[in-house]
Amino acid sequence: MQRLRVETEPLLPGATLPPWWRSLFLESANASAFLSSGWMATWLLSYGDAFDGDWVSFWHDLRCVGGCLLLTRRAKVGPFPVRLAVINTAAEDAEESPWVEYNDVLCVAGFEERVATALGNLLQQRTWDRLYLSGFGDGGVLSRLRRRYPIAEVEQEVKPSPYVDLASMTGDATSLLSSNSRAQIKRSFKLYGQRGKVHVTPAGTLAAAHEYLKELARLHRSGWKRRSKDGGFRTGRFLDFHCQLIEGLWNEGGVTLLRASAGEQAIGYLYNFIHAGKVYFYQSGFAYEEDSKLKPGMVAHCLAIDHFRSLGLCEYDFMAGDARYKTSLANAARQLQWVWIERATPRMRLVRVVRSIKRKLMSASAGERDGNQD
Protein backbone atom coordinates (compact mmCIF):
# COMPACT_ATOMS: atom_id res chain seq x y z
CA MET A 1 0.00 0.00 0.00
CA GLN A 2 1.33 3.41 -0.97
CA ARG A 3 2.64 5.42 1.99
CA LEU A 4 1.20 8.86 2.49
CA ARG A 5 3.40 11.89 1.95
CA VAL A 6 3.65 14.04 5.09
CA GLU A 7 4.13 17.79 4.82
CA THR A 8 4.74 20.18 7.73
CA GLU A 9 4.52 23.94 7.84
CA PRO A 10 5.61 25.92 10.93
CA LEU A 11 2.95 27.73 12.92
CA LEU A 12 4.03 31.35 12.71
CA PRO A 13 2.86 34.32 14.84
CA GLY A 14 -0.35 35.72 13.45
CA ALA A 15 -0.80 32.62 11.28
CA THR A 16 -3.93 31.95 9.27
CA LEU A 17 -5.28 28.56 8.27
CA PRO A 18 -3.36 26.72 5.56
CA PRO A 19 -5.17 26.53 2.20
CA TRP A 20 -5.92 22.80 2.53
CA TRP A 21 -7.81 23.09 5.84
CA ARG A 22 -11.13 24.44 4.58
CA SER A 23 -11.48 21.99 1.70
CA LEU A 24 -10.37 19.03 3.87
CA PHE A 25 -12.89 19.99 6.56
CA LEU A 26 -15.71 19.84 4.01
CA GLU A 27 -14.54 16.44 2.74
CA SER A 28 -13.72 14.81 6.08
CA ALA A 29 -15.95 12.12 7.53
CA ASN A 30 -15.01 13.07 11.11
CA ALA A 31 -15.33 16.86 10.95
CA SER A 32 -17.05 18.64 13.84
CA ALA A 33 -17.82 22.19 14.91
CA PHE A 34 -14.58 22.17 16.93
CA LEU A 35 -12.53 21.62 13.78
CA SER A 36 -14.28 24.22 11.65
CA SER A 37 -12.33 27.01 10.03
CA GLY A 38 -14.12 29.52 12.27
CA TRP A 39 -13.18 27.72 15.48
CA MET A 40 -9.56 27.12 14.44
CA ALA A 41 -8.97 30.66 13.19
CA THR A 42 -10.48 32.23 16.30
CA TRP A 43 -8.49 29.94 18.59
CA LEU A 44 -5.25 30.92 16.86
CA LEU A 45 -5.96 34.60 17.48
CA SER A 46 -6.87 34.07 21.13
CA TYR A 47 -4.58 31.30 22.34
CA GLY A 48 -2.06 30.48 19.61
CA ASP A 49 0.70 32.66 21.07
CA ALA A 50 1.12 30.22 23.99
CA PHE A 51 2.17 27.36 21.68
CA ASP A 52 4.76 26.37 19.13
CA GLY A 53 3.87 23.92 16.43
CA ASP A 54 3.32 22.82 12.86
CA TRP A 55 0.48 22.36 10.45
CA VAL A 56 0.70 18.71 9.40
CA SER A 57 -0.94 17.45 6.22
CA PHE A 58 -1.08 13.95 4.72
CA TRP A 59 -1.17 13.50 0.96
CA HIS A 60 -2.16 10.67 -1.36
CA ASP A 61 -0.58 11.71 -4.67
CA LEU A 62 -1.87 15.27 -5.14
CA ARG A 63 -4.86 14.89 -2.81
CA CYS A 64 -4.81 16.05 0.82
CA VAL A 65 -6.49 13.23 2.77
CA GLY A 66 -5.69 14.25 6.35
CA GLY A 67 -4.47 17.13 8.47
CA CYS A 68 -4.08 18.53 11.95
CA LEU A 69 -2.32 21.15 14.02
CA LEU A 70 0.50 19.62 16.07
CA LEU A 71 1.30 21.92 18.99
CA THR A 72 3.85 21.92 21.79
CA ARG A 73 4.15 23.93 24.97
CA ARG A 74 5.83 23.82 28.36
CA ALA A 75 3.67 22.34 31.08
CA LYS A 76 4.01 20.70 34.48
CA VAL A 77 3.21 17.32 35.98
CA GLY A 78 3.20 18.12 39.66
CA PRO A 79 6.36 20.16 40.24
CA PHE A 80 8.13 18.72 37.19
CA PRO A 81 8.38 20.66 33.93
CA VAL A 82 7.54 18.61 30.84
CA ARG A 83 7.20 19.20 27.13
CA LEU A 84 3.57 18.68 26.14
CA ALA A 85 2.45 17.80 22.61
CA VAL A 86 -1.16 18.48 21.64
CA ILE A 87 -3.27 17.58 18.62
CA ASN A 88 -5.29 20.62 17.52
CA THR A 89 -6.70 23.14 19.99
CA ALA A 90 -6.52 22.09 23.63
CA ALA A 91 -4.31 22.35 26.75
CA GLU A 92 -4.86 26.05 27.38
CA ASP A 93 -4.69 27.40 30.92
CA ALA A 94 -7.57 25.72 32.76
CA GLU A 95 -9.59 28.79 33.72
CA GLU A 96 -9.42 30.16 30.18
CA SER A 97 -9.88 26.93 28.27
CA PRO A 98 -12.76 26.94 25.76
CA TRP A 99 -12.93 23.12 26.20
CA VAL A 100 -12.73 21.07 23.02
CA GLU A 101 -14.88 18.02 22.26
CA TYR A 102 -15.25 15.91 19.13
CA ASN A 103 -11.63 16.56 18.36
CA ASP A 104 -9.76 14.50 15.77
CA VAL A 105 -7.37 14.65 12.86
CA LEU A 106 -9.35 15.72 9.82
CA CYS A 107 -9.44 12.71 7.50
CA VAL A 108 -11.11 11.56 4.32
CA ALA A 109 -13.08 8.35 4.89
CA GLY A 110 -11.03 5.23 4.22
CA PHE A 111 -7.66 6.81 5.05
CA GLU A 112 -7.95 6.76 8.87
CA GLU A 113 -5.51 3.91 9.51
CA ARG A 114 -2.91 5.21 7.08
CA VAL A 115 -3.09 8.73 8.50
CA ALA A 116 -2.80 7.38 12.06
CA THR A 117 0.29 5.38 11.06
CA ALA A 118 1.89 8.37 9.37
CA LEU A 119 1.14 10.65 12.33
CA GLY A 120 2.51 8.06 14.76
CA ASN A 121 5.73 7.87 12.77
CA LEU A 122 6.02 11.66 12.79
CA LEU A 123 5.46 11.81 16.56
CA GLN A 124 8.17 9.21 17.04
CA GLN A 125 10.64 11.65 15.47
CA ARG A 126 9.54 14.62 17.60
CA THR A 127 10.65 15.65 21.09
CA TRP A 128 7.90 15.47 23.73
CA ASP A 129 7.23 13.96 27.16
CA ARG A 130 3.43 13.81 27.16
CA LEU A 131 0.93 13.75 24.31
CA TYR A 132 -2.57 15.08 24.94
CA LEU A 133 -5.48 13.82 22.83
CA SER A 134 -8.63 15.66 23.82
CA GLY A 135 -12.30 14.75 23.52
CA PHE A 136 -12.24 12.20 20.69
CA GLY A 137 -14.66 9.43 19.81
CA ASP A 138 -14.25 5.95 18.38
CA GLY A 139 -13.43 5.19 14.80
CA GLY A 140 -11.33 8.21 13.87
CA VAL A 141 -7.62 8.83 13.59
CA LEU A 142 -7.01 9.65 17.26
CA SER A 143 -8.60 6.41 18.49
CA ARG A 144 -6.32 4.51 16.13
CA LEU A 145 -3.29 6.55 17.21
CA ARG A 146 -4.04 5.87 20.87
CA ARG A 147 -3.95 2.10 20.21
CA ARG A 148 -0.35 2.36 19.03
CA TYR A 149 0.81 2.99 22.60
CA PRO A 150 1.02 0.38 25.40
CA ILE A 151 -1.69 0.74 28.03
CA ALA A 152 1.01 1.23 30.67
CA GLU A 153 1.92 4.54 29.01
CA VAL A 154 -1.65 5.84 28.85
CA GLU A 155 -3.85 7.76 31.27
CA GLN A 156 -7.41 8.25 30.09
CA GLU A 157 -10.73 9.67 31.12
CA VAL A 158 -13.88 8.41 29.41
CA LYS A 159 -17.09 10.43 29.55
CA PRO A 160 -20.56 9.74 28.17
CA SER A 161 -21.90 12.18 25.61
CA PRO A 162 -25.72 11.95 25.74
CA TYR A 163 -27.70 13.20 22.76
CA VAL A 164 -31.19 13.36 21.31
CA ASP A 165 -31.76 11.61 18.01
CA LEU A 166 -34.28 14.13 16.74
CA ALA A 167 -35.42 12.02 13.81
CA SER A 168 -36.49 9.15 16.05
CA MET A 169 -38.74 11.30 18.27
CA THR A 170 -42.45 10.55 18.11
CA GLY A 171 -43.70 13.32 20.41
CA ASP A 172 -42.47 16.62 21.79
CA ALA A 173 -39.40 16.89 24.01
CA THR A 174 -41.29 16.13 27.21
CA SER A 175 -42.08 12.67 25.81
CA LEU A 176 -38.38 11.83 26.24
CA LEU A 177 -38.70 12.07 30.02
CA SER A 178 -39.77 9.50 32.56
CA SER A 179 -43.34 9.85 33.77
CA ASN A 180 -42.27 11.48 37.04
CA SER A 181 -39.91 13.96 35.36
CA ARG A 182 -42.46 14.68 32.65
CA ALA A 183 -45.05 15.62 35.27
CA GLN A 184 -42.57 17.97 36.96
CA ILE A 185 -41.62 19.70 33.72
CA LYS A 186 -45.21 20.08 32.56
CA ARG A 187 -45.98 21.67 35.94
CA SER A 188 -43.05 24.02 35.40
CA PHE A 189 -44.35 24.92 31.93
CA LYS A 190 -47.76 25.64 33.48
CA LEU A 191 -46.30 27.89 36.17
CA TYR A 192 -44.21 29.82 33.66
CA GLY A 193 -47.26 30.00 31.40
CA GLN A 194 -49.03 32.15 33.99
CA ARG A 195 -46.56 34.90 33.00
CA GLY A 196 -47.29 34.62 29.30
CA LYS A 197 -46.42 32.40 26.36
CA VAL A 198 -43.48 30.05 27.03
CA HIS A 199 -41.35 30.16 23.90
CA VAL A 200 -37.86 30.27 22.50
CA THR A 201 -36.42 33.03 20.28
CA PRO A 202 -33.23 32.63 18.23
CA ALA A 203 -30.93 35.63 17.98
CA GLY A 204 -31.82 37.04 14.57
CA THR A 205 -28.87 39.38 14.16
CA LEU A 206 -25.22 39.39 15.14
CA ALA A 207 -25.91 42.26 17.54
CA ALA A 208 -28.67 40.23 19.21
CA ALA A 209 -26.32 37.23 19.45
CA HIS A 210 -23.77 39.33 21.33
CA GLU A 211 -26.48 40.60 23.66
CA TYR A 212 -27.69 37.04 24.30
CA LEU A 213 -24.12 35.94 25.05
CA LYS A 214 -23.68 38.81 27.50
CA GLU A 215 -26.84 37.84 29.39
CA LEU A 216 -25.96 34.15 29.24
CA ALA A 217 -22.55 34.83 30.78
CA ARG A 218 -24.10 36.89 33.58
CA LEU A 219 -26.65 34.21 34.44
CA HIS A 220 -24.07 31.45 34.08
CA ARG A 221 -21.75 33.08 36.62
CA SER A 222 -24.66 33.74 38.95
CA GLY A 223 -25.84 30.13 38.74
CA TRP A 224 -22.44 28.68 39.59
CA LYS A 225 -22.00 31.20 42.40
CA ARG A 226 -25.21 29.86 43.98
CA ARG A 227 -23.46 26.48 44.15
CA SER A 228 -20.24 28.04 45.48
CA LYS A 229 -18.37 26.80 42.41
CA ASP A 230 -16.58 28.33 39.48
CA GLY A 231 -18.11 28.08 36.03
CA GLY A 232 -17.11 29.48 32.69
CA PHE A 233 -16.91 33.10 31.58
CA ARG A 234 -14.68 33.98 34.52
CA THR A 235 -12.00 35.69 32.47
CA GLY A 236 -12.09 38.42 29.88
CA ARG A 237 -10.01 36.33 27.49
CA PHE A 238 -12.55 33.49 27.55
CA LEU A 239 -15.45 35.86 26.86
CA ASP A 240 -13.50 37.67 24.13
CA PHE A 241 -12.79 34.32 22.46
CA HIS A 242 -16.48 33.53 22.23
CA CYS A 243 -17.41 37.02 21.04
CA GLN A 244 -14.90 36.64 18.21
CA LEU A 245 -16.01 33.06 17.55
CA ILE A 246 -19.65 34.09 17.13
CA GLU A 247 -18.59 36.73 14.61
CA GLY A 248 -16.49 34.16 12.75
CA LEU A 249 -19.27 31.56 12.58
CA TRP A 250 -22.32 33.79 12.16
CA ASN A 251 -22.42 34.27 8.40
CA GLU A 252 -21.90 30.57 7.70
CA GLY A 253 -24.68 29.53 10.09
CA GLY A 254 -22.32 27.69 12.41
CA VAL A 255 -23.63 29.18 15.66
CA THR A 256 -27.00 29.99 17.19
CA LEU A 257 -28.05 31.47 20.52
CA LEU A 258 -31.57 30.98 21.90
CA ARG A 259 -33.52 32.99 24.46
CA ALA A 260 -36.13 31.01 26.40
CA SER A 261 -38.89 33.25 27.76
CA ALA A 262 -42.09 33.22 29.77
CA GLY A 263 -43.99 36.15 28.37
CA GLU A 264 -41.48 38.99 28.24
CA GLN A 265 -39.26 37.53 30.98
CA ALA A 266 -36.10 35.65 30.01
CA ILE A 267 -35.74 32.36 31.86
CA GLY A 268 -32.55 31.24 30.14
CA TYR A 269 -30.15 31.34 27.22
CA LEU A 270 -28.55 28.50 25.24
CA TYR A 271 -25.37 28.77 23.15
CA ASN A 272 -25.04 26.15 20.41
CA PHE A 273 -22.85 25.27 17.46
CA ILE A 274 -24.26 23.69 14.31
CA HIS A 275 -22.53 21.48 11.76
CA ALA A 276 -23.89 18.98 9.23
CA GLY A 277 -27.37 18.97 10.71
CA LYS A 278 -26.13 18.44 14.24
CA VAL A 279 -26.59 20.84 17.17
CA TYR A 280 -23.80 20.96 19.77
CA PHE A 281 -25.15 22.41 23.01
CA TYR A 282 -22.16 24.29 24.35
CA GLN A 283 -23.11 26.59 27.22
CA SER A 284 -26.06 28.04 29.09
CA GLY A 285 -27.25 30.58 31.62
CA PHE A 286 -30.55 30.30 33.51
CA ALA A 287 -32.62 32.61 35.71
CA TYR A 288 -33.06 30.48 38.84
CA GLU A 289 -35.72 31.45 41.37
CA GLU A 290 -36.60 30.44 44.93
CA ASP A 291 -39.49 28.25 43.81
CA SER A 292 -37.94 24.84 43.08
CA LYS A 293 -40.95 23.91 40.96
CA LEU A 294 -39.63 26.32 38.34
CA LYS A 295 -37.00 24.49 36.30
CA PRO A 296 -35.63 26.95 33.75
CA GLY A 297 -32.91 24.63 32.45
CA MET A 298 -35.15 21.71 31.61
CA VAL A 299 -37.81 23.99 30.15
CA ALA A 300 -35.23 25.77 27.96
CA HIS A 301 -33.78 22.49 26.68
CA CYS A 302 -37.24 21.11 25.91
CA LEU A 303 -38.03 24.25 23.93
CA ALA A 304 -34.68 24.04 22.12
CA ILE A 305 -35.11 20.37 21.21
CA ASP A 306 -38.55 21.04 19.72
CA HIS A 307 -37.23 24.13 17.91
CA PHE A 308 -34.32 22.33 16.25
CA ARG A 309 -36.48 19.33 15.40
CA SER A 310 -38.92 21.66 13.63
CA LEU A 311 -36.00 22.93 11.53
CA GLY A 312 -35.23 19.42 10.34
CA LEU A 313 -31.93 19.01 12.17
CA CYS A 314 -30.91 15.47 13.05
CA GLU A 315 -29.28 15.57 16.48
CA TYR A 316 -29.16 17.63 19.67
CA ASP A 317 -25.93 16.74 21.43
CA PHE A 318 -25.58 17.61 25.11
CA MET A 319 -21.86 16.80 24.85
CA ALA A 320 -19.71 15.18 27.52
CA GLY A 321 -20.98 14.67 31.05
CA ASP A 322 -23.55 12.67 32.94
CA ALA A 323 -25.53 15.52 34.49
CA ARG A 324 -29.06 14.43 35.31
CA TYR A 325 -30.76 16.81 32.88
CA LYS A 326 -28.68 15.36 30.03
CA THR A 327 -29.41 11.73 30.77
CA SER A 328 -33.08 12.52 31.45
CA LEU A 329 -33.70 14.05 28.04
CA ALA A 330 -31.28 12.04 25.88
CA ASN A 331 -32.47 9.02 23.94
CA ALA A 332 -28.96 7.90 22.92
CA ALA A 333 -25.32 8.30 23.99
CA ARG A 334 -21.77 7.81 22.82
CA GLN A 335 -18.42 8.05 24.60
CA LEU A 336 -15.62 10.57 24.33
CA GLN A 337 -12.07 10.11 25.60
CA TRP A 338 -9.42 12.41 26.99
CA VAL A 339 -6.02 10.70 26.85
CA TRP A 340 -2.52 11.53 28.08
CA ILE A 341 0.24 9.39 26.59
CA GLU A 342 3.49 9.43 28.54
CA ARG A 343 6.76 8.73 26.80
CA ALA A 344 9.61 6.95 28.57
CA THR A 345 11.81 10.07 28.65
CA PRO A 346 14.14 10.85 31.59
CA ARG A 347 11.64 13.42 32.88
CA MET A 348 8.70 11.05 32.75
CA ARG A 349 10.71 8.23 34.34
CA LEU A 350 11.41 10.60 37.23
CA VAL A 351 7.71 11.49 37.44
CA ARG A 352 6.80 7.79 37.58
CA VAL A 353 9.32 7.11 40.35
CA VAL A 354 7.89 9.96 42.43
CA ARG A 355 4.34 8.74 41.76
CA SER A 356 5.28 5.24 42.87
CA ILE A 357 6.84 6.53 46.09
CA LYS A 358 3.79 8.71 46.76
CA ARG A 359 1.40 5.79 46.24
CA LYS A 360 3.44 3.59 48.62
CA LEU A 361 3.49 6.30 51.28
CA MET A 362 -0.26 6.84 50.96
CA SER A 363 -0.88 3.10 51.14
CA ALA A 364 1.31 2.77 54.21
CA SER A 365 -0.42 5.75 55.86
CA ALA A 366 -3.85 4.27 55.14
CA GLY A 367 -2.74 0.91 56.57
CA GLU A 368 -1.45 2.61 59.70
CA ARG A 369 -4.78 4.43 60.21
CA ASP A 370 -6.68 1.18 59.78
CA GLY A 371 -4.40 -0.49 62.32
CA ASN A 372 -4.97 2.25 64.87
CA GLN A 373 -8.73 1.65 64.69
CA ASP A 374 -8.45 -1.94 65.95
CATH numbers and ranges of domains, the chain: 5-161+335-363 (3.40.630.30), 170-330 (3.40.630.30)
User: Considering Cα of 47, then 83, then 138, then 109, what sign does the dihedral take?
Assistant: positive
Per-residue pLDDT of the chain (374 residues; tens, 9 = 90+): 678 999 999 998 877 899 999 999 999 989 999 999 999 999 999 888 889 999 999 999 999 999 999 999 998 888 889 999 999 988 887 667 888 999 999 999 999 999 999 999 999 999 999 999 999 999 999 999 999 998 878 899 999 999 999 999 999 999 999 999 999 999 999 999 999 999 999 999 999 999 999 999 999 988 777 766 666 677 788 889 999 999 999 999 999 999 999 999 999 999 999 999 999 999 999 999 999 999 999 999 999 999 999 999 999 999 999 999 999 999 999 999 999 999 988 888 888 888 778 777 776 665 555 555 54
The neighbouring-strand residues paired with 54 are 10, 70
Which residues in the chain belong to E strands, given as ranges?
Answer: 5-10, 52-60, 63-77, 80-87, 106-107, 130-136, 154-165, 198-202, 255-262, 265-275, 278-286, 315-317, 332-342
In angstroms, rounded to a whole number, what is the distance separating the alpha carbons of residues 334 and 317?
10
CB atoms within 10 A of CB 187: 13
